[in-house]
Structure 1
Amino acid sequence: MFISYAVVAVLLALGLLASAFATLTRNPRVAGIMTGLGVPESWFPWLAAAKAAGAVGLLAGLAVPALGVAAAVGVVLYFIGALVTHLRVKDYEIGAVVVLALVAAAALILRVTSA
């Protein structure tokens, strides 16, 4: 199970870091989606930091199981919040958000079962 967690955690962390970078640099596509959802631009650095912290925590979870669990919980909650944000404005293009939430949930389950 640990190898499965390691693979999922590394891939999810890479995706989170890429998303954090795109958010922090205000990539036009990402910024357009987020502002269309009603997310204020002043939140972008904080959301980017949350994604980056989740990525670091998932990777730290390779060595310290409790950090991996905490990070995975945080990432799952982040994407639940993203899902709620999409649904609140009746934006039903939620495929990516759902997939990332499920991958984060998989990371959580794999980290808990491999500890």
Structure 2
Amino acid sequence: MDIAYYVVGTLTALWVGFSGYSLFSKQQFVVEPLEKYGVPRSWWNWLALAKTAGALGLVAGFALPALGVAAAVGLILYFLGATATALRARSYQTSVFPLLYLAPVAATLILQVTR
């Protein structure tokens, strides 16, 4: 079970970290939906920082389990909020993307607490 936790946790942290980087660097595939949803530009760096901090927290959770749990819970809340934002904007085509990030974060959390 430990190997699965480390593999899933590492891959999840890389994926969420890439998402944070993509928002920091204003990649078009990230920016377009945010503009469509009406998310103010002044929030973008804070959202990117939250994702990046969550990804780092998942990795730190290998050494400090409580920090990993807190990071996973924070990221789950983040991606639930992102899903709600997409649904509120009636962007049903893109509302699945935050769930694709949420699933591995939830799996990481489950693997961590069942170790």
State the shift of 1:10 in Å.
0.8
Structure 2: which 5+ residue stretches go unaligned?
none
Instruction: Tell me the TM-score normalized by structure 2.
Output: 0.93
Structure 1: which 5+ residue stretches go unaligned?
none
Deviations 1:2-33 (A, max 9, x none): 22111111111111111111101111221111
Runs (4+) of structure 1 moved beyond 6 Å?
A: none
Opposite residue 96 of structure 2, the aligned amino acid is G
**Count of residue correspondences:** 114
Percent identity among equivalent residues? 47
The equivalent residue for 2:90 is: 90
The equivalent residue for 1:70 is: 70
- For 1:6 and 1:47, the matched residues in 2 are separated by 25
Please give the residue correspondences for 1:1-115 in structure 2 after superposition, counting only pairs within 5 Å.
Answer: 1-93=1-93, 94-114=95-115
- For 1:92 and 1:8, the matched residues in 2 are separated by 28
Deviations 1:41-97 (A, max 9, x none): 111110010001001000001111111111110111110000100110111122221
| RMSD value, Cα | 1.0
Instruction: Tell me the TM-score normalized by structure 1.
Output: 0.93
Opposite residue 84 of structure 1, the aligned amino acid is A
Moved more, 25-34 or 67-76: 25-34
Q: Which secondary structure does the structure 1 equivalent of 2:12 belong to?
A: helix
